[in-house]
Structure 1
Amino acid sequence: MDWLVESSKLTWTSWGIAASILLIHVAAFFSAFHSLQHVRTSQAAVAWVVGLITLPYLSLPMYWIFARHRFEGYREAIREVGNTHERSVAAIRRELTTPADCQSTNLNSPLEHVADVLDTPISEGNEFRLLIDGDAFFDTLVQQIQRARRYVYAEFYILRDDEVGKRFADALIERAREGVVVRLLYDEVGCLRLPGQYVQRLLDAGVDVHAFNTRQGWVNRLQINFRNHRKLVVVDGRHAVIGGLNIGDEYRGKNVWKDRWRDSSVAITGQATRKIQAVFAGDYYWAARTNLPEADWGDREPEAVQDSEHQAGPSSEQRTTSTSTATDARGRAAVCTTGPADIRPRAAMMFAAAIQAARSRLWISTPYLIPDESLMVALSMAKARGVDVRVLIPAVPDEWPVFLAGYHYEHELAELGIPVFRYYAGMLHQKAVLIDDSLALIGSTNLDNRSLYLNFELMIAIEDSLFIDDVAKALSQDFRDSRHSNHDRKPLRPWFARAGTAVARLFSPVL
């Protein structure tokens, strides 16, 4: 009888294994059909179909984690909050959108081209200050927070529990204890190494802290491939700082391969700050599903700001420090907010519109160089028009797969006659675009597939001669600190570097 029992167990085990295998293959078949309908490009769809049919055990989980390009639920969350907080949601729409599918500007400048393509309004009468590298950024950030009288909104991809991270937390805690409303968003993937006690300390002090939490809702359980890559701080709806820097010692050049972490940020005063505030509000609605009752949207009399120094902006002494530029500018700007919740590929459209508007100069600084085909065509067209096209990328890696994939596109650009320069004076993390003497874009968006299609990003397009001159001077120095790396068009040496580049390029859609 024992052998019958054992035989019965083996039979049920065999049937279970067979059923599991059949289920996996059936799920892979329907996933392949799903990919034909929903994957963004035909090349990617073909790759997924082949992988799902031939290697279903490996490809099936990867498909449902990495193949999605549209973030579900973000717009619905804003609509949901809008049912009970109509004023705030109306303010977000007013600050960030213009009527779609129609010409809303005269298209007389590169700024208007970018704003019109993105259906985003242009704000007038802003003041900008270019912040070069980490010390200028962190000093300005802390100063702005310390002067807050009503509220502070902060949002970062990465937070570190180190010297800079503690300084940032202390500034938030001090304001919260003084009765200022302080709200903080962070990306849970970017902050995987952030100790729980760091967040708990903020919560205990009265800071409202939320992870962005892309995995809300059963539909989004596997949405770990999306990131909130934005970096911003808004103070009292009047002052803002945005750029490419996260919160950590490494962004001051500490504990990295190079002594200098090259980055750029912008301190902003003016109408554009409410538009950046609207970006935070949309992200906050997704993360917390609630309103920002204290937010000043300019449709009511703001409370008096008691700190006259804060009202006046940075002092002349602060403006002339060695860590920031010596001029404050006044001009127009468009806040360019992009992400996987967009119906259209707005980040790629932003770059394409800026590139197509260039007439004499197009300088791009990016830590990651994985442009899609449409941007390669746009760059090629700019070069054909006789535009001075240059691309600045790191000489040392921040992320090895992306760094290796960049070599492939460096050689493709060489074939088009577009020079690529590698920066040797530090770790280049700057995301900046300079168009002629007319427009500068600075923010968090890299020239890679992840920033173009998978990340929530934030750039500001600035039209002001003084600010643009500051950016041009900074980039000119960056190019002097770099080497023209694709001039001779020689293949990589040794052979395993070429192999690594080829493999990295295969994974470029998810890098």
Structure 2
Amino acid sequence: MIATFIAIAALALHAAGVLAAMHAVMNTRTAQGAFAWVLGLVLVPYVTLIPYLFLGASHFGGYVDLHRQRQARFFMLHAEAEPPARPGVAPHPQPVHDERYSPIGHMLKTAMHGGNNLSLHINGDAAFEAMFAAIERAEHYVLVQFFIIHDDGLGRRLRDALLACAARDVQVCLLYDSIGSHALPDSYVETLRAGRVDVRPFATRRFRNRFQLNFRNHRKVLVVDGERGFVGGLNAGDEYLGLKPPLAPWRDTHMQIEGPAVADLQRVFAEDWYWVTGERPPSMPPPERCGRATTMIVATGPADRQESCSLFFTQAIQAAKKRVWITTPYFVPDQAVFGALRMAVYRGVDVRILIPSRPDHRTVFMATTLYAHEATLAGIRMFRYQPGFVHQKVMLIDDDTAVVGSMNLDNRSFRLNFEITALNVDAPFAGEVEAMLKDDFAQADEVNPNDYRRLPYLRQVALHVARLFDPVL
């Protein structure tokens, strides 16, 4: 009797595995990912079926339709309620053309805007001091979005700052990712709502989806009164201030924008907010000119028709003539990005990549180690940051272009997460980023091809096994 039950259960699991494999073939975004899932689901469904429920599902409700109809729907509503212009304000600033990056704008239906003033904020203390100062000066509204919010010292400081805003009749909209902030207690959210802060979790389906771990909103955005915006790699938690060993000190970068580009930063937040609430958040047109920098806000995600994040990196790297310096916590590039990096080396471009020397996710770290070895063989200079964990997502191209945002060089950013970054063309700002990165590289050890060869054979095998998980890393 028991044997019969086991046989029926095994048969049912295999049948479910075959059905899930068919789903994977039809819906997985890459051939490599589809092959990996099919192999596991058909041969060992006992091991892979449950993980596929969490990681393999690729349908996320109406978000794709909403995203692809945003020009016809969202902007039509936005135009109907366009706030009146104020002195010194241009609601529709004329875009700036830069042939190096115009393909990115065409792909994402966005543009570069001149007249921006940029500020670089190195590490959490400087970044959050600037953000809290901006929130304190808010007069009309504050739009806040983080992937992770913790109920700790920094998280409670954010909560109190937003409550203080709401108390003086400033409209506050807070968006957090429901998986990234899974540990956020209900009491934190209830306190904000009781204080008239409109706080919502981001989810890619309107109904509860307990199995959906992919397609997370990894963006970090703050907009105050339409005048100034912040974007970068920092979340709201004490570890981002370097207060939690063993990853401390925490190395990260954020930036502040004042000027016309803030309108696009605000628009990206508004799209996410509109999906969650069905309502438009408050908005005001940005100042016409605050500085000389040209900025393009680049927002990518799995709802895009193209592999937009991967193509963004590919185009930006191909535009380089002198150098490409990148810092990323996870170096698990796809073939397009890896190929662009290698071709840059062959063009004589100085290609350097800074990665962590200690892991926060063991499997990703192991895959990164193998890719770092292969990169050195292609002439890409790889460096491991020694003082602590490097989490910043920064790219420096030649002498005038600096990119700061939330995008990692891994499959999650390329295909599974909603990301945002600011591409800035401004020689003085790029000079600040260059000085920052020179200091980072000075505190790093360069990876040598022999480092891999010195590893024990079983360790090398483990690195190759870790790389098999590329599609879900």
Q: Calculate the TM-score normalised by the size of structure 2.
A: 0.90
2:401 matches 1:439: yes
Where does residue 391 of structure 1 map in the other structure? 353
Q: What is the CA distance between 1:197 and its match in structure 2?
A: 1.3
Out of 460-469 and 14-23, give the one that drifted further.
14-23
Partners of 1:215 and 1:350 in 2: CA distance: 26
Partners of 2:78 and 2:198 in 1: CA distance: 19
Alignment CA distance shift 1:478-1:85 (3 Å): closer
Q: Secondary structure at the match of 1:421?
A: strand
Where does residue 345 of structure 1 map in the other structure? 307
Q: What is the CA distance between 1:425 and its match in structure 2?
A: 2.3
Where does residue 34 of structure 1 map in the other structure? 23
Out of 399-408 and 483-492, give the one that drifted further.
483-492
Partners of 1:84 and 1:338 in 2: CA distance: 17
Where does residue 145 of structure 1 map in the other structure? 135
Structure 2 counterpart of 1:296, from 272, 275, 284:
284
Alignment CA distance shift 1:370-1:112 (3 Å): same
2:43 matches 1:54: yes
Partners of 2:125 and 2:430 in 1: CA distance: 21
Partners of 1:465 and 1:28 in 2: CA distance: 55
Partners of 1:111 and 1:416 in 2: CA distance: 26
Over aligned residues, Cα RMSD in angstroms?
Answer: 2.9
Where does residue 200 of structure 1 map in the other structure? 190
Identity %: 40
Q: What is the CA distance between 1:28 and its match in structure 2?
A: 2.6
Partners of 1:357 and 1:265 in 2: CA distance: 24
Give the aligned residue type for 2:123: D
Where does residue 126 of structure 1 map in the other structure? 116
Give the aligned residue type for 1:264: T
Partners of 1:87 and 1:118 in 2: CA distance: 20
Alignment CA distance shift 1:222-1:410 (3 Å): same
Mapping for residues 183-194 of structure 1, pairs under 5 Å:
183-194=173-184
Q: What is the CA distance between 1:194 and its match in structure 2?
A: 1.6
Higher-Rg member (1/2):
1
Out of 28-37 and 351-360, give the one that drifted further.
28-37
2:201 matches 1:211: yes
Alignment CA distance shift 1:492-1:191 (3 Å): farther
2:254 matches 1:265: yes
Partners of 1:85 and 1:40 in 2: CA distance: 29
Structure 2 counterpart of 1:284, from 273, 276, 282:
273
Alignment CA distance shift 1:39-1:85 (3 Å): closer
Give the aligned residue type for 2:370: H
Q: What is the CA distance between 1:73 and its match in structure 2?
A: 1.7
Q: Secondary structure at the match of 2:15?
A: helix
Partners of 1:372 and 1:260 in 2: CA distance: 29
Deviations 1:319-359 (A, max 9, x none): xxxxxxxxxx6311110001111111100011000010000
Partners of 1:312 and 1:37 in 2: CA distance: 48
Where does residue 439 of structure 2 map in the other structure? 477
Partners of 2:393 and 2:349 in 1: CA distance: 20
Structure 2 counterpart of 1:370, from 325, 332, 338:
332
Out of 172-181 and 499-508, give the one that drifted further.
499-508
Mapping for residues 36-435 of structure 1, pairs under 5 Å:
36-69=25-58, 71-77=60-66, 86-88=76-78, 107-108=98-99, 110-217=100-207, 222-292=211-281, 294-297=282-285, 330-435=292-397
Q: Secondary structure at the match of 2:453?
A: coil
Q: Secondary structure at the match of 1:194?
A: coil
Deviations 1:352-381 (A, max 9, x none): 000100001110110100001111111111
Q: Is the 8 A contact 2:18 2:42 kept in 1?
A: yes
Alignment CA distance shift 1:113-1:213 (3 Å): closer
Q: Is the 8 A contact 1:70 1:340 kept in 2?
A: no
Q: Secondary structure at the match of 2:338?
A: helix
Out of 189-198 and 199-208, give the one that drifted further.
189-198
Partners of 1:124 and 1:400 in 2: CA distance: 42
Q: What is the CA distance between 1:22 and its match in structure 2?
A: 4.5
Partners of 1:397 and 1:16 in 2: CA distance: 44
Q: Calculate the TM-score normalised by the size of structure 1.
A: 0.84
Q: Is the 8 A contact 2:115 2:289 kept in 1?
A: no
2:472 matches 1:510: yes
Q: Secondary structure at the match of 2:128?
A: helix
Q: Secondary structure at the match of 1:233?
A: strand
Give the aligned residue type for 2:422: I
Q: Is the 8 A contact 1:69 1:340 kept in 2?
A: no
Give the aligned residue type for 2:443: D
Alignment CA distance shift 1:21-1:254 (3 Å): same
Q: Is the 8 A contact 1:421 1:486 kept in 2?
A: no
Partners of 2:58 and 2:457 in 1: CA distance: 34
Q: Is the 8 A contact 2:96 2:114 kept in 1?
A: no
Where does residue 88 of structure 2 map in the other structure? none
Alignment CA distance shift 1:274-1:32 (3 Å): same
Partners of 2:430 and 2:197 in 1: CA distance: 37
* Gaps in structure 2 of 5+ consecutive residues: 83-90
Alignment CA distance shift 1:257-1:492 (3 Å): farther
* Gaps in structure 1 of 5+ consecutive residues: 1-9, 99-103, 303-310, 314-328
Where does residue 322 of structure 1 map in the other structure? none
Q: Is the 8 A contact 1:81 1:290 kept in 2?
A: no
Deviations 1:446-492 (A, max 9, x none): 00111111111110000011101100111111111111113545425
Give the aligned residue type for 1:30: L
Partners of 1:131 and 1:71 in 2: CA distance: 35
Give the aligned residue type for 2:172: V
Where does residue 101 of structure 1 map in the other structure? none
Q: Is the 8 A contact 2:352 2:381 kept in 1?
A: yes
